[in-house]
Structure 1
């Protein structure tokens, strides 16, 4: 049973670039947004977990691999809420109690978006070629 993609898929330059942009935005948000539960370490933790699990979790749903659904749901929960709860339990339990419901909704939405962005297995060139072919603009 394979829960993650091949290593090569995680090392694709376009995926690493988008991960870097996402992390930069999260860090900027943690600096400029006065939220008691948004800091750099949790931004890094949750971004890396989403990078590793979101496309696979989404693929389980899209391909209806129901035997993998419990693992996909666990990966989603742990990436979106479990890691957050563990981190803030030790860092600041008051912030956890105050912000957990709001964080869950925002993080689940971002997790889904990340899954869509990183779902494609292939190079950026192949993605554009396939997309152009789908809309009837491919070169023949």
Structure 2
């Protein structure tokens, strides 16, 4: 696993390079496909294609960065604390902010509490999955190393 650069911005070249890894793009496509399927078939009033694309896309861009910044939060200095607050703001924006903005502008009925519960969990779960910095072969190798030998 490649080391996580301290205080790396989500738009830094190394962060953007991580988002182009095939296994991350494949898991994003799988997740977005499920969101779009749900928007078209589950009949939930506040779940549509637009919000699925917005929340799914923003989650892909920011969740691993948020998780990484929060994982590095040990004895923070002022800058580290500011970065952690930015990571929490990014999480809130992806989970609730864009939801309220989108549905408020569209005039749709909202279930903020229900959306927040599901979306917050999915945001951080996706962030933990995409947080790994490396290819699929490296991930496999690192997971095998974690298995205790008897």
Fold agreement, TM-score > 0.5: yes
The structure richer in helix per residue is 1
- Alignment-derived partner of residue 24 in structure 1: 33
- Structure 2 unpaired stretches of 5+: 1-6, 74-79
Runs of at least 4 residues off by over 6 Å: none
Deviations 1:77-124 (A, max 9, x none): 10000111110001124x12xx11111111101101101110101101
- Scaled by the length of structure 1, the TM-score of the pair is 0.89
The residue aligned with 1:69 is 84
Q: Kindly indicate whether residue 127 of structure 2 is the aligned counterpart of residue 121 of structure 1.
A: no
Q: Which of the numbers 42, 49, 55 marks the counterpart of 1:40?
A: 49
Match of 1:91 among 103, 106, 109: 106
Q: CA deviation at 1:69?
A: 1.0
Which is bigger in relative contact order (C-alpha 8 A, separation at least 6)?
2
Partner of residue 4, structure 2: none
SS of 1:6's equivalent in the other structure is helix
**Partner deviation per Cα, 1:54-80 (whole Å, 9 max, x = no partner):** 111111121114341110011001000
SS at match of 2:29: helix
Superposition TM-score, scaled by structure 2 size: 0.84
> Are residues 1:100 and 2:112 paired?
yes
CA RMSD of superposed structures (Å)? 1.4
